[in-house]
Amino acid sequence: MTRATSYVVATLPALVVLGFFVWFANWIPQTRWEPPKARQITKIMSPSELAGLGKVIVRERGCLACHTIEPGTGIKGQGRGPNLANIAARRAQGVTGGPDNLVEYLIQALYEPGAYLVESYANIMPSSVQAPAKLTYEEVTASVAYLQSLGGKPTVRVGDLPRPPAEAEIARASQEEAATDVTAPEEILAKFDCLACHSMNPGEVLVGPPFEAALLKKAAAARGVSPEAYVTESIVEPRAVEADDFPKETMPDDYGKRLTAEQIYVLTRYLLEPERKK
């Protein structure tokens, strides 16, 4: 027997076994993971339509990896989290713990799951707007509608629910960041709603003192300070001196943080001009 023949005889069984496993692996039905599909969720959708989408979202985003939907078993199913079956009916029957209102309870559970824990369950659930679920506001609304349908009737629509705390904070910070770019005095007054309480029209009095240069200078003289110092103090420390003829503690006291130094300077000069465009 030649060396080549000996080699083939020795390796043939191994090749046969390997070929069998390759065939078997390809014979098994193959599955392919795909990321969750982006869905168009709009304000015109009915609560029932949102609930239908919510049912799909709850399954796609892994909620049922911990929660179960087991009718007839109460709150304690076989999952690591509370059983979701008939959750609306259970809350309606006066289950203790968490907000009494079903929607408020569900929102708290999705945004801040650690705020209230069902007895015997650990604080393991991340916020639904964070990884791994990463639900958008619209997806949260659809999920709430679906959970309402488990033992009840969905009622929520897009726009009914509060936004996630972090998202609301980001939106507020973004608005304030955009506001710092405003440098024209008229735009500053409009951006910060100053004219809702202070009038630019001579003789007209609203909630707070009118923005009349002569009156501002008179008030500054009465305090023994320069008009510029008086106006600046009135903006950044409105509680320092409050006129007796106007409601107390009405003006926000955070303009010193929300306005830039340039904006305060521009606004002060503008308000003290004897003649200004309205």
Same domain, 64 and 142: yes
What does pLDDT average to over the chain? 80
Stretch 111-140: mean pLDDT: 85
For residue 10, being part of any structural domain is answered with no
pLDDT given for residue 33 in this prediction: 47
Residue 6 domain flag: no
34 in any annotated domain: no
Q: Does residue 83 have a pLDDT over 50?
A: yes
Domain count, the chain: 2
Whether residue 235 is found in the same domain as residue 198:
yes
The model's confidence at residue 177, banded by pLDDT at 50, 70 and 90, is: low
The CATH number that applies at residue 130 is 1.10.760.10
Burial state string for 217-249 with b = 16 or more CB within 10 A and e = fewer than 16: bebbeeeeeebeebbbbbbeebeeebeeeeeee
Among the ranges given (25-34, 101-110, 113-122, 267-276), the one the predictor scored with the smallest mean pLDDT: 25-34
Give the model's pLDDT for residue 30.
Answer: 53
The predicted model scores a pTM of 0.52
Report, as an integer, the average pLDDT of 241-248.
76
Indicate whether 173 belongs to any domain: no
The rounded distance, in Å, linking the Cα atoms of 147 and 54 is 8
Can you give the residue range of the structural domain that contains 216?
180-271
Which range, of 40-54, 129-143, 158-172, 228-242, averages the lowest pLDDT?
158-172
The verdict on 54 and 125 lying in the same domain is yes
Please identify which residue in the block is written with the tokens 């955070």.
254
The torsion region of residue 36 among left (phi > 0), alpha (psi -120 to 50) and beta comes to: beta
> What letter represents residue 15's amino acid?
L
pLDDT of residue 5: 61
Q: Which residue has the tokens 């076994």?
A: 17
Q: Are 124 and 98 in contact (CB under 8 A)?
A: no
Residue 127 lies in a domain: yes
